[in-house]
Structure 1
Amino acid sequence: MGYCAYTYTITLDADSGLMSNIPLETASNVLQSCIKLYSGSDFKKSMDDTVAHIRNLCKANRCCLLLTDFATGMCKLLSDSHLVEGPHGPISNIITGEFYDIVQTWPETIGGSDFLMIKNEHDMQILKEKNPVWYASLKQYDMKTLVLFPLNYGNETKGYIWVTDFDVDNALMIRETLELTTYFISYAIANYQLVKRLEIMSTIDLLTGVKNRNAMNNRVNDFVEGSEAYPESLYVVFADLNGLKQVNDNNGHIAGDLLLKNAALILQDIFLGHEVYRAGGDEFTVFVTGLSEAEFMEKIEKLKKYTYTDEGVCFAFGYCADDGKHDIRYDMKTADERMYADKEEYYKLYPDRRHK
């Protein structure tokens, strides 16, 4: 008589030793996917190429990559590769806001596993018992086989990748390939999202939502160094809030922050489609391009409604039109000088506010 004991250990961390102990064919497939994933600087194109490559490996009709945000209840189609479109048109027509109601059922359906594979009608019937809503959706779009992997990074699910109507005879190879490939895709998505957040933090003023001084300086440098061609028409506007210190002193900094936000909204509304920057403190800069002089002056007339007022948002402003010499630093200096001249006129009208 003999005995056999089978034990296993559950861990949330990836075991690099086990993950690297894979068949040669799988290793080759994963390596090819990673080359496509990291071969270019265009994140979207790299993802599209990788998803198309995975679909070809699986000999499938479709491969999709979906981004999720469970904190906000949102999902977004990042990439799709298919041979034959479904009976209801592009997959983008399916993945709308309502599709999140199905997506949020997937973690429970997958359960303790790290993937879900449906290879035949028997598997489909099991899914029907566990998740009838998702089953009905798959049947509606005539999907017969499916493999779904979550894209996990740390303790967060960044999204899902799924393949439908794949080569069932190669199910083991497909599982092994996706199991390891999704590991690299998850890290690529996490890194991309981190870089985008850092870009936003480095270029967007977090209080007002307009671009910040760093973004403005980069834009100016692009013009000066010639990496950005001058537009046919360029106007520079400097706008400074009057009375911000008075609001801060009398009503508190929360009221002052609200005034700055309202000022930014007004400038964004007047100069819709153009570049609005918070240069610092209560100062804003606007670069207006592609307008005729008449069109630009219409916007200036709208801006004048917010000057020399004793309540709400009140601007002192100056502007300069590029004279064809293409010297944006001169244009900014001139607009700044004119803005301060306008501010002096304001203080002549309200001398009691000069030091407030």
Structure 2
Amino acid sequence: MSLDTLFDHFEEKELPPDLSAFIIKTCLHMRKGEDFRSSMNNVAKDLREFTDSYASCIMTISRDLYRFDVIGESVRNNEIVLQNVFDKIPYEIVESWEEMILENDSIIIKNSDDMEYYAKRSPKWVETLKENGVESLCLIPFIHQNTIIGYMYLTNFDTSNIDNIKEAITLMSIFVSSEAAHHLLIERLRSLSLIDSRTGVYNRTAMNNMVDELSAQLKLAPAPFSVAFCYLNTLKTVNEKKGHDVGNTLLKEAGKVLKEVFQNDYIYRSSGDEFAIISTTCTEDEFEEKIENLKDLASDPEWLYFTVGYYTDNTDGALHSAMKYANKYEQEFNEEFYYNYPDMIK
């Protein structure tokens, strides 16, 4: 539903006094926040309390960067942190909402029949809903310049009140959309200097900044970390034989796979066909498991193939040394790849 349609819809009807008071109060709260995220948390809290829902969430989505962000959240009694929940959810699940929303401008789940209907449309998403105890849901997009730039949703509410709940969240989406659009513009300007546009991961400048900062921290307080270098062996051959447009598609897929495997880690495009990973949250075994997962997903010598060298430092905190070791191991595996596939272009 476009903004013009929304305005026409609400212009033709008289809003209930309690809903009008809620909108005014929440818009004031949105201006009261000390920063953007605290303002959005205020909106989420007001919306959750007005609708007597268990959880309320506000998210933005950036398709060209293959990312979404939780910008506001509120959960009854602060029982869970929604950001932690969404850290485990891949971008593709959130991306799938748009197609389902096109049917009737929202996604509403009131009962098990609705849940099973959406399970057929997006089984992985519904699986996450069930895992997190969601029994009812109202999800509304917010729109800027006829483009979906984010979503607001409520969970576990009195479904007999769904019409009023949908009206409240839809109205709030109008006011949130302009704030979110401004936030996305600022974030985009910031990201342009740090994000590699072809892959959606951090660029070399961001890596250099991170290495300098983390290296200084580790010297003061050594802590376990892991690093890896991942070489995209097939890129030069694809560029030469199929053209750079196809090569750019390969880079895009490479970035997507890396972000799926190394969630919550730092991913950088360190050079044209090489990526670096820095992890400060995984154990050695967990990092090795991710490496093996990457090798399984990127083992096609005709398309996506990574050779990987990695190193874990559990005691010394010597980041530069660890990166040298990882890079050395990657180069050794790299030579082995070209020995096994002599027709590939180095």
Correspondence for 2:124: 133
Deviations 1:327-347 (A, max 9, x none): xxxxxxxxxxxxxxxxxxxxx
Q: Is the 8 A contact 2:60 2:149 kept in 1?
A: yes
1:74 partner amino acid: R
Number of residue pairs aligned between Structure 1 and Structure 2? 204
| Aligned counterpart for 1:52 among listed residues 45, 56, 62 | 45
1:118 aligns with 2:101: no
Secondary structure of the structure 1 residue equivalent to 2:64: coil
Task: Specify the structure having the higher radius of gyration (Cα).
Answer: 1
Secondary structure of the structure 2 residue equivalent to 1:180: helix
| Aligned counterpart for 1:106 among listed residues 91, 97, 108 | 97
Q: Matches of 1:145 and 1:119 in 2, distance apart?
A: 5
Rate the CA distance shift 1:17–1:72 in 2: closer, same or farther, 3 A: same
Correspondence for 2:35: 42
Whose helix proportion is higher, 1 or 2? 2
Correspondence for 2:15: 23
Q: Matches of 2:118 and 2:210 in 1, distance apart?
A: 51
2:176 partner amino acid: I
1:77 aligns with 2:74: no
Rate the CA distance shift 1:105–1:265 in 2: closer, same or farther, 3 A: closer
Rate the CA distance shift 1:66–1:26 in 2: closer, same or farther, 3 A: same
Quick one: percent identity of the two aligned structures? 23
Q: 1:90, CA displacement in angstroms?
A: 3.2
Rate the CA distance shift 1:34–1:123 in 2: closer, same or farther, 3 A: same
Q: 1:64, CA displacement in angstroms?
A: 1.1
Moved more, 23-32 or 103-112: 23-32
Q: Is the 8 A contact 2:75 2:81 kept in 1?
A: no
Q: 1:12, CA displacement in angstroms?
A: 6.6
| Aligned counterpart for 2:136 among listed residues 124, 137, 145 | 145
Q: Matches of 1:120 and 1:157 in 2, distance apart?
A: 26
TM-score w.r.t. the length of structure 2 is 0.51
Segments of 5+ residues of structure 1 without an aligned counterpart are 1-9, 210-261, 274-356
2:139 partner amino acid: L
Q: Matches of 1:116 and 1:267 in 2, distance apart?
A: 43
Q: 1:84, CA displacement in angstroms?
A: 5.4
Q: Is the 8 A contact 1:148 1:162 kept in 2?
A: yes
Q: Matches of 2:206 and 2:36 in 1, distance apart?
A: 32
2:81 partner amino acid: P
Q: Is the 8 A contact 1:75 1:97 kept in 2?
A: no
2:53 partner amino acid: A
1:164 partner amino acid: T
Equivalent residue runs for 1:80-229 within 5 Å? 80-83=73-76, 90-96=81-87, 98-195=89-186
Secondary structure of the structure 2 residue equivalent to 1:13: helix
Q: 1:128, CA displacement in angstroms?
A: 2.0
Segments of 5+ residues of structure 2 without an aligned counterpart are 195-203, 215-346
Rate the CA distance shift 1:11–1:34 in 2: closer, same or farther, 3 A: closer
CA RMSD of aligned residues (A): 3.3
1:23 partner amino acid: L
Deviations 1:192-228 (A, max 9, x none): 3335567x59xx9x6xx7xxxxxxxxxxxxxxxxxxx
TM-score w.r.t. the length of structure 1 is 0.50
